[in-house]
Amino acid sequence: MNNYNKLLNNLETLKLLKMRDNIDSYIDLINNKKKDIIESLYELTNLEIELRNEKAMYGEIEILNEKRIQHSIQFAGFPYQKTFEEFDFSFQPCLNKAQILDFKNLRFIENKENILFVGSPGVGKTHLATAIGLENAKNNHTTYFINCNDLIETLKKAHSHNRLDEKLKTLAKYRLLIIDEVGYLPIDLEAANMLFQLINKRYEKNSTIITTNKPFSKWGELFGDNMIANAILDRLLHHSHVISITGKSYRTKDILADTSNSKE
Ligand code: ADP
Ligand code: MG
């Protein structure tokens, strides 16, 4: 091996890759007396320093990004962190897997569309809503997850402190608002009015995900008022994806499997 190749090897061993890549042109410059050796070495080492500074900067940006994502996820207040990968589609064959996986692309967020998951307890409504929410938070969009009854309590509290408008404005701004468990408890007229105001403020501006165990035909009963229920549904359903999950509960699948086994 000649000295030139030995030099290249040394630069490689020392991880001076910028110097290795540029040394050839500098040797030409020196041979042609366009640059002297000191200037050449100075510039070559400068190239190496620039690269290291850039790498350090990117490293810091990566760390900041990671921190921001963690903060967004914490802020969102998910009940648990479940992903699309953890969802067993074979257990819920009524679902169109491609349609659900497309939510991961967040096109519905861009299009300001809503998603409504309808189904009995344990079928994976909250799991899927959370998986979508996590994806949204990871993509740097504001995301907020709230249980419907907690939301009603928050709104009523804001109202009693004369801060309902302020609260509604904040809630309307989130790029994605997930209202979980609509319909598990009856909703009084005051709460229904507040929910209508919130949905109306978000209408065609930001996406909302709803999970509910109540078919829409029962929402009049749930809200104790057909007109307000229809007004809310009207805005939610215009530009929306309705996902009905008709399968069995994932929570009780093992218990049910056990009972059926024990009968045999
Ligand atoms: P609900 O429809 O009542 O909101 P969840 O989404 O909370 O039900 O599901 C109940 C539990 O079962 C959660 O721990 C969830 O992760 C799990 N689960 C539900 N469906 C599935 C599924 N198809 N694959 C994997 N886990 C599931
Ligand atoms: Mg749930």
pLDDT at 177 over 50: yes
125 C-beta closer than 6 A to ligand 1:
yes
Q: What is the mean pLDDT of residues 146-152?
A: 98
**What is the whole-number distance in angstroms between the Cα of residue 34 and the centre of ligand 2?**
73
Q: CA 168 to CA 198: how far, in whole Å?
A: 6
Could you tell me what percent of the chain has a pLDDT over 90?
91
From CA 175, how far away is CA 259, in angstroms rounded? 44
Query: What mean pLDDT is predicted for residues 70-84?
Result: 97
Which residues have CB less than 5 Å away from ligand 2 (the ion)?
Answer: 126
Confidence at residue 122, expressed as pLDDT on a 0 to 100 scale: 96
Task: Give the ligand at the shortest distance from the Cα of 148.
Answer: 2
What is the model's pLDDT at position 216?
A: 97
264 has pLDDT over 70? no
The end-to-end CA distance of the chain, in Å, is 79
- Find out whether the beta carbon of 121 lies less than 6 Å from any atom of ligand 1: yes
Does the Cβ of 4 fall within 6 Å of ligand 1?
no
pLDDT for 253: 80
Q: Which ligand is nearest to the CA of 249?
A: 1
pLDDT digits (tens, 9 = 90+) for 91-119: 999 999 999 999 999 999 999 999 999 99
Number of the ligand closest to the Cα of 119: 1
How close is the Cα of 180 to the center of ligand 2, in Å?
Answer: 6
Which atom number of ligand 1 is nearest to the Cα of residue 79?
7
Of all protein residues, the one whose alpha carbon is nearest to atom 7 of ligand 1 is 126
Residue to mutate (ligand 1; options 84, 92, 127, 184; most atoms within 8 A of CB) = 127
Q: Minimum-distance ligand to the CA of 85?
A: 1
Ligand 1 mean position, distance from CA 97 (Å): 15
Residue 210: CB within 6 Å of ligand 1?
no
Cα–Cα distances (Å) from 120 to 126, 182, 183, 192, 256, in that order, read 11, 12, 11, 22, 16
Read off the amino acid at residue 50: E
CB 113: neighbour CB atoms within 10 A? Answer: 16
Mean pLDDT of all residues belonging to the chain? 94
Q: What are phi and psi of 119, to 5 degrees?
A: 170, 165
For residue 257, the model assigns a pLDDT of: 60
Predicted local distance difference test score (pLDDT) of residue 263? 38
pLDDT tens per residue across span 30-64: 999 999 999 999 999 999 999 999 999 989 899 98
For ligand 1, whether the C-beta of 82 sits within 6 Å is: yes
Residue 258 pLDDT greater than 90, yes or no: no
pTM for this model (two decimals)? 0.82
Q: Is the CB of 87 under 6 A from ligand 1?
A: yes
Amino acid 261: pLDDT: 45
The token pair at 91 is 């257990």
Residue nearest ligand 1's atom 20 by CA: 124
